[in-house]
Amino acid sequence: MNKHFRITLMMLLLLISSLGLFANPTSDGEAVMWNVYNRDSGNAMSSTLTMTLTSAKGAQRVRSIAQYRLDSDGIERKMMFFLTPNDVKNTSFLSISYEDGRGDDQFIYLPALKRVKRIAKDNTNEAFMGSDFTYDDMGTRHPQLDTHTLLGKETLAGTPVVVVQSESKTPSEYPKTISWIVDGQWYGLKKEFYAKDGTLAKTLVIDEVNLIDGIYVIGDMTMTNHQKRTSTRIQMESVDFAVDLDERFFSERQMQIGPRR
């Protein structure tokens, strides 16, 4: 084999592979998003969230929340207790979501009312606790809901990332999003949300990621809403994947007892 032939073969291979890309251009994007979706996030976790909401005029509301999560048998259970401010302390929120597509079960407990209420509402596209995050943003959106296209690879803040565009298959408040995903580790560093008219509506920026027990955990992220000129920063501390939790913890009774000390 002479040199000439080897180059031709390489060119041919390159051509075939690029043809393959053309034939199924989204396959790589899909793969990336499935990797993101399937990334290990631990089965049980406890943490403390600090949520800082900033209004368009720059006023702030700061809340800290104790959060517990348990994934088992295709069911994700989440319990949240407000720690501060004082007047809402021990207000708790329980959500149980099912991977099989059943609607979420949500409960709220107001300590001053001393009553647990079940919330009958499909919240998926609603603001998460009055913040700039939606419930969708807080979890990971199922990859099948969108069509994913790999836009390219670049470096973001010195980290190699893949850029994926996701377009919703069903009508959505943000029909198009673009995610910057760390190649190989499959957590996002940045995400842009585009409104129906094509303008940039929201930007999510991840400022801190910690590797805890072999799991990448976002330590600090900020969602900026460009339309409302508001922003929400969520910081996560005291992350514990070794927490001992079982299904019984996620109960109405526990909601009334309060967080673990």
Partner 1 sequence: MKFFNSLSKRPFLLIVALLLLALLFVTSMAKTATLETNLNEYMPKTHPAFVFSTEAEELFGIGDSILIVLEDPAGIYNASTITKLDQMTQSLLTDFPDIDDVTSLVVADNITSMDGMLEVEPFYTGATDEQALAKLKEQVEANPMMRGRIVSGDGTATLLIVEPSPQANTKELQKQLQQWLETWQGPQTLRIAGRPVIEGSLAELGPKDMAIMFPLVVVTMIILLYVLLRSVRDMVLNMIIVLFGTLTAFGTMTLFNIPIYAVDTMIPVMLIAIGVAYGIHMHNAIHHHMLSDPSITKEELARKALVQMVRPIIMTALTTAIGFVSLMSSEVLPVRYFGLFSAVGVMTEMLLALLLFPATIYLLGKPTYRSKIAANETPPLAQKLHTFTSNHPTAIVIVAFAVLAIGIWGTSRVWIDTSFLANFEEDSAIVQTDLFVNEKFGGSSTLNIILKSDEADRFKDPLLLSRIDELQGALQNDPVVGNTLSLATFIKQMNQAMEEYAPGTYAIPDSSDLISQYLLLYEFSGDPKTLEQVIDYEYSTANITVQLKSDSSAQLKSVLEIVQTFGADFAESGVTVGFAGSGYKAYVFSELLLKGQIISLLLSFIIIFLLLTLLFKNWRVGLAGTVPIAITAVVNFAVMGILNIPLSSATALISSIAVGIGVDYAIHFIEHYTNERLKAKSQTEATLETMGNTGRAILFNAVAVMGGFVILLFSVFPPNRQVGALIVVNMAVSALGTLTILVVLIHALEARGRFLPKQSAQHNKLGVHA
Helix (H) or strand (E) holding 108: strand 105-110
Contact 156, 179 (CB under 8 A): no
**Can residue 82 be called a binding residue for partner 1 (CB under 8 A)?**
yes
**Can residue 87 be called a binding residue for partner 1 (CB under 8 A)?**
yes
**Can residue 91 be called a binding residue for partner 1 (CB under 8 A)?**
yes
DSSP per position, 46-71: EEEEEEEEE-TTS-EEEEEEEEEEEE
Region binding partner 1 by CB under 8 A among candidate stretches 30-38, 126-134, 168-176, 178-186: 126-134
**Can residue 103 be called a binding residue for partner 1 (CB under 8 A)?**
no
Nearest to 255 by CA among 139, 146, 113: 113
DSSP conformation class of 185: T
Query: ∠25-29-32 over CA atoms, to 5°?
Result: 150
Q: How far is the CB of 114 from partner 1 (least distance, A)?
A: 10
Contact 181, 161 (CB under 8 A): yes
**Can residue 138 be called a binding residue for partner 1 (CB under 8 A)?**
no
Tell me the number of residues near partner 1 by CB under 8 A: 27
Q: Taking CB under 8 A as the rule, which mask of x and - marks residues 197-226 in contact with partner 1? A: ------------------------------
Among 18, 20, 61, 207, binds partner 1 (CB under 8 A): 61
Among 40, 99, 126, 213, binds partner 1 (CB under 8 A): 126
Nearer to partner 1 among residue 112 and residue 242 (C-beta): 112
Lateral strand order in the sheet of 44-54: 105-110, 92-98, 75-84, 60-72, 44-54, 230-240, 215-225, 200-212, 188-194, 176-182, 159-168, 146-156
Among 49, 75, 88, 243, binds partner 1 (CB under 8 A): 88
Residues that bind partner 1 (CB under 8 A): 55, 57, 59, 61, 82, 85, 87-88, 91, 93, 108, 110-113, 115-121, 123, 126-127, 129-130
